[in-house]
Amino acid sequence: MQLKITKVFQRVPEGYIGLVEELPGANTQGDTLEEARVNLAESGIHERLGI
């Protein structure tokens, strides 16, 4: 089974925020886009999805 999730990143004055649309509360932030991506990957979303 393949599970698709939607990661959204948005530029804000303080840097970037990132979230997963399908998981309320799965969000993070970073000074750069790359930092926000890494932080989201390390936030435990895979465990919450059971993958």
**pTM, 2 dp:** 0.79
Predicted pLDDT of residue 34:
98
Q: What is the pLDDT of residue 29?
A: 97
Q: How far is CA 8 from CA 1, 3, 18, in A?
A: 23, 16, 6
- Cβ atoms of 50 and 3 closer than 8 Å: no
Expressed as residue numbers, the domain containing 43 is 7-49
At residue 3, the pLDDT reads 78
Would you say residue 39 lies in a domain?
A: yes
From start to end of 1-51, where are the E strands?
Answer: 7-12, 15-20, 27-30
How many domains is the chain partitioned into structurally?
Answer: 1
Residue 1 falls inside a structural domain: no
- Using CA atoms, how far apart are residues 25 and 2, in angstroms rounded to an integer? 22
Identify whether 14 is part of a domain. yes
Q: Is-contact 20 7, C-beta < 8 A?
A: yes
The pLDDT tens digits for 1-51 are 677 889 999 999 999 999 999 888 889 999 999 999 999 988 877 676 666
